[in-house]
A and B are shown apart, each in its own frame.
Chain A
Amino acid sequence: MKVAITSVGNSLKSKLDLRFGRSVWLCIYDTETKQAEFRQNENKDANGGAGTKTAEKVAELGAEQVVSGDFGPKAKALLEKLKIQMVIFDEPNQTVGGIIEKMGSTKKQQTT
């Protein structure tokens, strides 16, 4: 499964971007291959509709889950329709790598 994580930079050491639609980068993490790739979010400076455009991008990148600080009402409604699960992570100092690690540990907990 692919997970999108909003990020302020393009490395695993970058912090989580608390904004969804105006997030600077998107980390696409594949839970099977354990590969992470970073995509720039060209919608971050949109006058309007940044949230819905970013939701569209996340869907086109094939993510089934998205982690961010929060989601605006329009983005939320659209992500629900696209059946992309939203995960709110309200810790500003968390790194993208740290979130990926946590996801791994929850998975282990769930399987054991």
Chain B
Amino acid sequence: MRIAVASGKGGTGKTTVAVSLFHFLEIFQDKKVQLVDCDVEEPNDALFLTPLQVLDKEEVCQFIPGIDLSTCTFCKKCVEWCEFNAITVVASRKFAEVDSNLCHSCGACSEACPTHSIVEEPGVLGTITHYKTENGSAFTQGLLEVGSAMQTMLVKKLKSRVRQNSEITIFDSPPGTSCSVVETVSDTDYVILVSEPTPFGLHDLKITVELLQELEKPFGVVVNKANLGFRDIYSYLDEKKIELLGEIPFSREFARVYSSGELLKNIPEEFEQIYQGIIEKVLAHETVN
């Protein structure tokens, strides 16, 4: 079963839920489980999984097109084909250039060019690291190169390198509802949405729910920092008939423990039961599919 943990709003507790879920699945379930941190702009699951053993680290590249001016006829075919406005050609100045910050490496310009003047050069996209946790489970993380805007491409490559040897794979999604999130949840069987009972939390939850409904993904909601804020989120879940997977109460002490990186080392007893409940509800969807 492939499970994504997503949120919409940042800071609702995606990492907390993804890492805790991974931890409790490791402990309680007689199933092989692995975690993939797809929040490639700032992956931080690793902070809570120490000690980790690095198995291998791979630098991944994207192809950045360049234009060979000795053969380019400045016909602008590549410019017409480029969906991302990444190519500038000014025939009168004999100028032709690709802006690597705008390029999505789709390869359309190579196809379009009648004189084969597009040369492709590798550009670093980021790194993918495979780890082994203390309990022997696999953990994989993608880290985007600083300055790159190709999150989605890295998530795609990261997912293609996940070793298919576990029964449950958890994907910690980036926040928001953009392409990188779509890529993360696209081939999963179930999505856990982590929200918080605040106006912002509800606002972004609604957007994420719309996205998942469009993608026809089954999902349920975990309300984190419960008993803070307002109750509107519950009436929304009722109204939309969305399954409430569990509520994690707000705890100042837990926040303190989290910020010192000891999330898994000091778990309050009541949390254990809450995650057990979440796991049961989520795994029940496995047979449904």
* In the assembled complex, A59 has its CB within 8 A of some CB on chain B: yes
CB of A22, distance to nearest CB on chain B (Å): 12
A46 in complex: contacting residue of B85, B88, B90, B99, CB < 8 Å: B85
Contact between chains at B95 and A60 (CB < 8 Å):
no
Query: What bracket does the count of chain A residues touching chain B fall in?
Result: 10 to 19
**Inter-chain contacts of B160 with A (CB < 8 A):** none
Task: Check if B200 is an interface residue, CB within 8 A of chain A.
Answer: no
How would you classify the secondary structure of chain B's contact residues: helix, strand, loop or mixed?
mixed
Docked complex: A11-33 residues within 8 A CB-CB of B: none
| Cβ-based interface call for B119 (8 A) | no
Q: A74-B102, A78-B99 are in contact. Are A49 and B93 (CB under 8 A)?
A: no
**A49 lies within 8 A of B90 (CB):** no
A52-B102 contact in complex given A46-B85, A81-B97, C-beta closer than 8 Å:
yes
Which residue of B85, B90, B99 is within 8 Å of A60 (Cβ)? B90
Judged by DSSP, the binding face of A is: helix
Asked, given contacts A74-B101, A74-B102, whether A48 binds B85 with beta carbons under 8 Å apart, the answer is yes
Complex interface bits, A42-53 against B, C-beta within 8 A gives 1, otherwise 0: 010011111011
In A50-92, the 8 Å CB interface with B consists of 50, 52-53, 55-56, 59-60, 62, 74, 78, 81-82
- Identify the closest chain A residue to B101 (Cβ): A74
* Residues on B with beta carbons closer than 8 Å to the beta carbon of A81: 95, 97
Per the bound structure, the CA–CA distance linking A52 and B82 in Å amounts to 13
Known A-B contacts A74-B102, A78-B99; the reply to A49 vs B92 at CB < 8 A is no
User: Counting CB contacts under 8 A, is B278 at the interface?
Assistant: no
- B88 with A56: CB separation less than 8 A: yes
Please give, as numbers and ranges, the residues of chain A lying within 8 Å of B95 by CB-CB distance: 59, 81-82
- Contact B84 A49, beta carbon cutoff 8 Å: yes
Interface residue from B90, B91, B93, B99 paired with A74 (Cβ < 8 Å): B99
Measured CA separation A82–B92 after assembly (Å): 11
Distance of A60 Cα from B97 Cα, bound (Å):
15
- Enumerate chain B residues within 8 angstroms of A50, measured Cβ to Cβ: 85
B1 within 8 A of A: no
- Minimum CB–CB distance from B6 to chain A (whole Å) comes to 24
Known: A48-B84, A82-B95. A56 touches B102 (CB 8 A): no
Q: Does B282 contact A (CB under 8 A)?
A: no
When distances are taken between beta carbons in the complex, the residues of chain B under 8 Å from A56 are: 88-90
B237 CB to nearest chain A CB (Å): 34
Determine whether B86 belongs to the interface, using a CB cutoff of 8 Å to chain A.
Answer: yes
Q: Are A82 and B99 in contact (CB under 8 A)?
A: no
Chain A positions within 8 Å of B, measured between CB atoms, are 43, 46-50, 52-53, 55-56, 59-60, 62, 74, 78, 81-82
Which residues of B are in contact with A by a Cβ distance under 8 Å?
A: 84-86, 88-93, 95, 97, 99, 101-102
26 CB-based A-B contacts, threshold 8 Å: A43-B85, A46-B85, A47-B84, A47-B85, A48-B84, A48-B102, A49-B84, A49-B86, A49-B99, A50-B85, A52-B85, A52-B86, A52-B88, A52-B102, A56-B88, A56-B90, A59-B92, A59-B93, A59-B95, A60-B90, A60-B92, A74-B101, A81-B95, A81-B97, A82-B90, A82-B95
Instruction: Other than A43-B85, A62-B92, give 15 A-B pairs with Cβ distance below 8 A.
Output: A47-B85, A48-B84, A49-B84, A49-B85, A49-B86, A49-B102, A52-B99, A52-B102, A53-B85, A56-B90, A59-B93, A59-B95, A74-B102, A78-B99, A81-B97
